[in-house]
Structure 1
Amino acid sequence: MNLTAENHSIPLKDGTRIPLLGLGTYGDPRTTPRGTALECVKLAIDVGYRHFDGALVYFNEHEVGQAIREKIADGTVRREDIFYCGKLWNTFHPPEMVRPTLEKTLKALKLDYVDLYIIELPMAFKPGNDFYPKDKDGKYIYHHTDLCATWEALEACKDAGLVKSLGVSNFNRRQLELLLNKPGLKHKPVSNQVECHPYFTQPKLLEYCRQNDIVIVGYCPLGSSRDASWYCPRFSQCGLWCSVWVIHPA
């Protein structure tokens, strides 16, 4: 597969470029053997992948970063060839927690910057060290979130050079409008990562994003693994989410 950041990428609104095909690096940490992400990312780079989708909450960014660094060290790629997307998790929406959380990702990756950093979900959980806080009845503990305040903290991270581009994930039109209409907006979201595949095409959201120069990044492009009938069983053995694809806004 002859994929490079140059010949299989499209421009984002802020001038950076995003490779069209990416490898999702999620693997259930309870069942995925250690080292799986490391070996998968190294192999993916060898066969041509340049776009990697990760998150602090995947608990494997240290392996992904090691794979990227090893492939830079052996001369296979340069840092500028790699496009890494990280995510701000639900428990870190308060503005004062945004930069320290991004810095945790950078420390795990041992990289100076990420190419894209996105708000993983528009809802928030109770802030703290527990990524999935629950009450005594086993129900998730939600927390008020001011998406505009969170976005301003992300803008400061971009201005500081810690991230090249900013985006969101799982946002609907109303939530996107909150950001796009925010007074004093400095950096528009350049992407919205959502589930998108032949069983769930999201045409209205896609059209809205096109109108606002927001690229849709579709996860589960072969169908959602939440329903075994929606995905190819061959891919279920890899341990990681197989891919994301980028849908050109034009």
Structure 2
Amino acid sequence: MSRFDTVLWDIDQTLLDFNLSQVYALKESFQLFNLEMKDNTLALYADINHTYWRRHELGEVSKEELLTGRFRTLFKELRVSGVDIENFAAVYQKALGSVFYFRDDSYTLCDKLKGKVRQYAVTNGVTATQKNKLHLSGLDKILDGIFISEEIGCPKPQIEYFERCFARIPDFKKERTIIVGDSLSSDMQGGNNAKIACCWYNPEDKENTTALRIDYQIKNLWEVEKILDLSS
């Protein structure tokens, strides 16, 4: 019997390629607002966005502050004025949830695992955006549940987030659960906080400079099959 019967999947940049969706959404939003994208705009925004999400994980900014603050910072850096930030943020968020790109053919993997292990999405993303992406991708029909931080009431990696997720999983056992995600600060830190097995999805072979416990490290999502060892 496999050691694990429950898999917690991160969504953005794990099951789905968030970076590609981000590029699409930013280009679409700039075009709709008749704004010129400079050579450094994408990289600048990605860095600003990452910083805001990290601050949100630490409880320094609310989700509402994040959604508009990142664009205020971006346009300030670009020295662009006169943009309706609230409207721009709404347009961007809608565009972000209108496309999806699978990583490592994740749909086929999750579909293959369906019925063999329980699979849940654990995400800090915006509720409407995540639900739309998961619906369009068909993952919502495969997964056993979707835990979005806005609905849970707090974000990964806070222990409260995981405790509230665990309470919603029938016959839940920590020792039979593994989290798979790309983020050290969100997924792996969260797994450490919650005292469950941690599988770091690291396709770019990044260096881990933290003291976090990493039980498994993979470069392709299909390596999870071997970890689950469902044949035993």
Q: TM-score, normalised by structure 1?
A: 0.29
Larger relative CO (CA 8 A, sep 6+): 1 or 2? 2
- Which of the pair is proportionally richer in helix? 2
TM-score by length of 2: 0.30
